[in-house]
Amino acid sequence: MTLTTHPVLATLTDALPAQVLATDDDVLAAYAHDEAEWAPHGRPVALVRARTTEDVQATVRACLAHGVPVVTRGAGTGLSGAANAVDGCVVLSTERMTEIREINALERLAVVQPGVVNDHLREACAEQGLWYPPDPASAPWSTIGGNVGTNAGGLCCVKYGVTRDYVLELELVNGLGELVRVGRRTAKGVVGYDLVGLMVGSEGTLGVITEVTVRLRAARAPERTVVGYFDSVVDAGRAVEAVGASGVLPSALELVDRHCLKAVDDWKNMGLSADADVVLLGRTDAPGAAGDAEAEAMVRCFEQGGATFAAASTDEDEAEALFMARRMAYPALERLGPLLTEDVCVPKAAVPEMLARIEKSAATHDVLIANIAHAGDGNLHPLIITPPGDDAARVRAQAAFEEIIADALDLGGTVTGEHGVGLLKRDGLHAELSPEVVAMQRAVKAALDPRGILNPGKVL
């Protein structure tokens, strides 16, 4: 039997509309991996671009019947390899499930299919004076289903939390092919275990999400931006620590270094310039005088950390350009060569030391590391860049990657703040969690996916 004659293809052909199933080699290759360039991937036997819940359930049941793995993906913007195909699997894409089914202003919730793009939901909510806070840097492209799968965070999560804080209810197909609902739409509810919280961040290993009900907030006041220039990431880290100690809770606090700004400028010709090695971008959305006071407090904290320049921005276009550069840093740097992307998170007090250790790792292993970070909550994204085709540099980069993970754990942090475990952080998971806790998680996996077909080989 070859991949092209696998019996699951006949079952899928009978169960699905013709336009949903694809087996063309070029199409399969395009859907075989996410954006984690260093994570391995296999060759799928088929791609299902589901349009309905029925398509999803039929696919899972067909795969159960033949013992075939199911790897679910959204837009493929993940950075850990969680959506990477394994040999002989069916890749199940939810990117065409794009219906916004309900926006309820009274209950402040929205009901969407998993393929809805994050920014599209935010725009639809804004039309009704509402706001969906989770905003990963990939928000213009990533989907709500993928955000749920990785428990995505983003720029404003320092104040408003991550995806898990906003998911109320999920419809999903479990590992037995059953269609179930978990969670509730009400403001309160404590019936049974928190299966929604369990599913969010499970990276497709416990079920295939077909509908998401999310909590919304009222639209917020316009933000004020504070900009600080620093001679080193360590100085910027001290400023982050000072902001945390001051009691100010910024709506965003982002770190971008010169490597990132230059890469974006070279790519998009945005006319960016920074007379510093590191730029710290703070925002407050407190209204009126309270916002003015928070902006002034952040300026003082930046100066306390050693800023060579710090001020509340008076040019909103310039401020927005800097935040846009922050969002585009990853694809801009990706043009320079293969990227190995970190996602460690440490306590705010440990940010200066963690940034110092990242600099030390770059020097020790002779690799270029660009730094971007959701600095306000200690979530750091050092990006290790290697020249194309330089195998020796890849070995050194991998060593730096492992050292950064070890340093984050040593400082009381975690190996992944928002990108997920996928394939790249499996060793890190076992370094962070005790064998007893890993056994508990494996027991959950076995209970909800007894045939082991849902995204096998990922996370645990």
- Order of strands across the sheet with 109-112? 100-104, 109-112, 207-215, 167-174, 179-183
Q: In order of start, what are the domains of the chain with their CATH numbers? A: 3-93 (3.30.43.10), 100-218 (3.30.465.10), 221-335 (3.30.70.2190), 337-453 (3.30.70.2740)
pLDDT of residue 1: 46
Contact 327, 137 (CB under 8 A): yes
pLDDT tens, N- to C-terminus, the chain (460 residues): 455 679 999 999 999 999 999 999 999 999 999 999 999 999 999 999 999 999 999 999 999 999 999 999 999 999 999 999 999 999 999 999 999 999 999 999 999 999 999 999 999 999 999 999 999 999 999 999 999 999 999 999 999 999 999 999 999 999 999 999 999 999 899 999 999 999 999 999 999 999 999 999 999 999 999 999 999 999 999 999 999 999 999 999 999 998 998 898 889 887 776 678 899 999 999 999 999 999 999 999 999 999 999 999 888 888 888 888 888 998 999 898 889 999 999 999 999 999 999 999 999 999 999 999 999 999 999 999 999 999 999 999 999 999 999 999 999 999 999 999 999 999 999 999 999 999 999 999 999 999 999 999 999 9
pTM: 0.94
Distance separating alpha carbons of residues 338 and 256, to the nearest angstrom: 19
Distance separating alpha carbons of residues 377 and 447, to the nearest angstrom: 34
pLDDT of residue 207: 98
Show the CA angle centred on residue 373, arms to residues 369 and 377, nearest 5°: 140
Distance between the two ends of the chain, CA-based, in angstroms? 30
Of 98, 127, 100, 134, the C-alpha closest to 215 is 134
**At 30, phi and psi to the nearest 5?**
-70, -25
Q: Longest Cα pair distance anywhere in the chain, in angstroms?
A: 71
pLDDT of residue 195: 97
pLDDT of residue 273: 66
pLDDT of residue 181: 98
pLDDT of residue 261: 86
